[in-house]
Structure 1
Amino acid sequence: MHFCHANAASAKKYKDEIFNRFGGGVLLAIRKEISCYEVFSQNIDNNECVAVQISTQSGTLLICSLYIPPQIKISSRLFDQLLNINNNCLIMGDLNAASTLLGSRKTNSKGIQLQDLLNNTAFSCIDDNITTYERNNYEEKLDWILATRPIIFCINNVNTHMLLDTVSGHKPLTFDLMIMGDDKPPSPRIQFSFKLANWSLYRHILNEKLMQWDVNRKIVSTNDIDEYTTFISESIVAAARSAIPQSSGKVWALIRKYHNKRIKQKITSVLKYEQFEANSDLEKANMFATYFENDIYTSTPGTSALHIHVSEVVKKINKSISTSSINSQSFQAITPKELKLILKQLPYSAPGPDNVHNRCLRNFTKSLIDHLLNLMNASLRLGYVPSSWKTAFIILLLKPGKDRSQVSSYRPISLLS
């Protein structure tokens, strides 16, 4: 894990929200592919701190950015809270502390406080004698790298650099942290640049892929339907990959940024549901799933007129449908004309987990129509919906004026396969 190369465009930023005064402030920028989440962003005893928990191959690591104004004491309460979160802790920042015992040119009151902190806690510091602050003829070491054991032993190649386009101020510090961070799993979504699509090539490849299915095979079970659905979906996606360039989405992200077309929202670092709390991305996802399953998508006693009406309609449908009637093909089969009409009217919406875009369905071939008809009519005949069609990507939108920390404050939008 390297802290000596930063790219603002490829990093997630975590910072305090205090920008109404001159000086100070804390910020952390973590590469987007590194699995992490914010766990702490507070001002305790006027010590400003933001902390992010990073997943590593050997556990988790708490990384903190800290600023303590010149006339403010080092808060032992803050350090205690950080250690309570994670004993594997790394702190970087401007403490405005100077201590000759730790490499500074002189000792101030803050430096004495820092020495006491190191003597009475699990923290150690990088105690080189390189100055980190320069103004006129004054130079001093005021910025510090603190870490608990064994993290302190994983820090190598600490360097202090020249000022960046300024005549005075704090110098940049860089170092290598010899810990491997866990990369976030790649997104399963595929983004295509449809303006550059070669639709003739797409249809040609699609027909070749679909020819690999045994047309004499009978669809007689639910497993057959699921297998057939997967085959058709994979054929469409394979043809799209070959004929349509993929897009990273960076262009649209830039356009939205400057035209404010989409308001960026951020789920709070701690999510709450009843008496439970969630911190990591996985914990939050499971908490949302539990909430939607238990509190939203449940059969509750019907009191509203709409609920009563829907219940009556469902009862009538269930009463009119029997296994014998379905197997006797009493349903009306979907026709090619009906299917083509529906496909042509599909909106250009985002795909679900199967990555089958509606644009690809709208550019159908006769072979695709034949396969889709065979699949859909078999689904009606057997009374079974393909399992992959019941899965979805869930996008959460914060309701206006609601508390970000509560799961009930978010509205789910499903992107179905």
Structure 2
Amino acid sequence: MISICHININSITKNKVELLARFYKYDVISVNETNQKSERPFSLLDYNIFRNDRVKKAGGGVLLAVKEHIKCREIINKTTHKNEIIAVQIETLLYKSILISSINVAPTAKIEMKIFQELYNINSNCIIVGDLNATISEMGSTKTNARGKQLQELLNEGSQPLLSFITNVETHPTIDSINGHKPLTFDIQIGAEPKPTSPRLSLNFKEAKWTKFRSKLDQQLILWNNDLSLNSPLDIEDYSMFITDSIMLATKEAVPTSTPTSKSYALSEAFKSLITLKHQAYRRWKRAGDNIDKRQYYNSKILLTNSLRNDRRDNLSKLMSSLCHKKMYSDKVLLIVRKFHSKRVKQTFTSSMTYNNTTTTSNKEKADLFADYFENDVYSYTDDTLPFHD
């Protein structure tokens, strides 16, 4: 199943956090009116971004965000007669592929019919979402405008093979009250083909068990027949593959994979609660038209902005606080101590060594005493005096 969300938003950068908080579970997010500048990078956690930004004018722009685990590629990215379009092809399990397109038509423009024909020619299994600024009286609008007539023609002429697969169609409270567009979500009962996992492994060599690695590698290398001679390029290639496979097997057993670090901080419970209160106030205001609910809605927006700013400050303070603590657990420091310790155990030191009222005689005791001195006096913990605190 592929879950899809479409939203017409007023600046995706300004509403990025709330967008992720509410619609992170969807596989594909279509956004119109992104109001992005092409020279500025934009990202969403765990999504691949495909965007078509409006050039030289404010507003506009379309974007498709597809979950990173889904196999996909961009097919169309262009603007024709104020029709902004971005289309992505997604590999599926049932069909060979489906096309998902996001289109934004400016209020002063006509629907460019050739764009739709181009999409159908590329792939008839096509899902088109967006803001066409079209109204059709048969679908609930007060009247049918010119773009509505064009849209009706498209619906009459175009085939709709994926219509029967669409389920769970829902609308949601708006993110930004300026445009009044409600987010639309639905599911397509077709499984997406997962992107193949990368052959590159991120290994944690600090936790490697090198004794086990050498033991396993020895076991593998013994299996090679030493009587064989390497007389041809094919023989050399076979031997190289054997060595590579042996190293890979030993690495798999002795070196653990590293845990990926989080790319974003978690939203606070206060922030999530304010989002809920804001939407509840908005729904009451639109339903009853009470000014009290209206004021509560706008107050919630202000509190939401302040809460987000405070969350960012708290996370920055925690980061700076952790950086200013002096820690003696540096891997390089302990490595130096271990190297010195190993050398001193094997060497002879004729004089006695005294530290903290302890006098040593044997070489091992002297090495241990020096390690204590190195840890306690050279890399000792000191109180935090820097002006960064939680």
CA RMSD of aligned residues (A): 2.8
| Structure 2 letter corresponding to 1:6 | Y
State the distance in 1 between where 2:213 and 2:92 align: 42
- Answer yes or no: is 1:98 the counterpart of 2:135: yes
State the distance in 2 between where 1:67 and 1:196 align: 52
Kept in 1: contact 2:48–2:66 (CA 8 A):
yes
What is the CA-CA distance between 1:217 and the residue it aligns to?
5.0
- Answer yes or no: is 1:32 the counterpart of 2:43: no
What is the CA-CA distance between 1:11 and the residue it aligns to?
1.8
> SS of 1:169's equivalent?
coil
1:112-167, Cα deviation, whole Å (9 max, x unpaired): 33223323x21xxxxxxxxxxxxxxxxxxxxxxxxx42112221111111123647
The 1:77–1:219 alpha-carbon spacing in structure 2 relative to 1, beyond 3 Å, is closer
Aligned length: 227
State the distance in 2 between where 1:200 and 1:242 align: 11
The 1:19–1:247 alpha-carbon spacing in structure 2 relative to 1, beyond 3 Å, is farther
State the distance in 2 between where 1:9 and 1:248 align: 17
What is the CA-CA distance between 1:48 and the residue it aligns to?
0.5
Tell me the residue number matched to 1:2: 2
Tell me the residue number matched to 2:205: 194
Tell me the residue number matched to 1:185: 196
Tell me the residue number matched to 1:82: 119
The 1:166–1:245 alpha-carbon spacing in structure 2 relative to 1, beyond 3 Å, is farther
Kept in 1: contact 2:54–2:60 (CA 8 A):
no
State the distance in 2 between where 1:219 and 1:112 align: 76
State the distance in 1 between where 2:66 and 2:261 align: 18
- Residue of structure 2 aligned with 1:205, choices 201, 210, 216: 216
> SS of 1:9's equivalent?
coil
- Answer yes or no: is 1:11 the counterpart of 2:31: no
Kept in 2: contact 1:16–1:42 (CA 8 A):
yes
> SS of 1:81's equivalent?
helix
Tell me the residue number matched to 2:77: 41
Tell me the residue number matched to 1:163: 174
Give the number of the structure whose alpha-carbon radius of gyration is greater: 2
1:235-282, Cα deviation, whole Å (9 max, x unpaired): 11111122222247667x99xxxxxxxxxxxxxxxxxxxxxxxxxxxx
Tell me the residue number matched to 1:283: none
Point out where structure 1 has 5 or more consecutive residues left out of the alignment.
123-147, 255-417
The 1:165–1:115 alpha-carbon spacing in structure 2 relative to 1, beyond 3 Å, is closer
- Residue of structure 2 aligned with 1:232, choices 243, 247, 267: 243
What is the CA-CA distance between 1:175 and the residue it aligns to?
0.8
> SS of 1:3's equivalent?
strand
Kept in 2: contact 1:12–1:29 (CA 8 A):
yes
The 1:245–1:103 alpha-carbon spacing in structure 2 relative to 1, beyond 3 Å, is farther
What is the CA-CA distance between 1:61 and the residue it aligns to?
1.7
State the distance in 1 between where 2:51 and 2:152 align: 27
| Structure 1 letter corresponding to 2:255 | I
State the distance in 1 between where 2:117 and 2:162 align: 17
- Answer yes or no: is 1:23 the counterpart of 2:43: no
Kept in 2: contact 1:16–1:41 (CA 8 A):
yes
> SS of 1:206's equivalent?
helix
What is the CA-CA distance between 1:214 and the residue it aligns to?
4.0
TM-score (norm 1): 0.49
TM-score (norm 2): 0.52
1:328-382, Cα deviation, whole Å (9 max, x unpaired): xxxxxxxxxxxxxxxxxxxxxxxxxxxxxxxxxxxxxxxxxxxxxxxxxxxxxxx
| Structure 1 letter corresponding to 2:198 | S
1:41-92, Cα deviation, whole Å (9 max, x unpaired): 1111111101112222322222110001112111112212222222222100
| Structure 2 letter corresponding to 1:3 | S
State the distance in 1 between where 2:55 and 2:208 align: 46
> How do residues 117-128 of structure 1 correspond to structure 2 at under 5 angstroms?
117-119=154-156, 121-122=157-158
- Residue of structure 1 aligned with 2:101, choices 59, 64, 79: 64
> SS of 1:114's equivalent?
helix
> SS of 2:121's equivalent?
helix
1:7-37, Cα deviation, whole Å (9 max, x unpaired): 7322211110326544332111122232221
Give every structure 1 segment of 4 or more consecutive aligned residues whose post-TM-superposition deviation is greater than 6 Å: 248-251
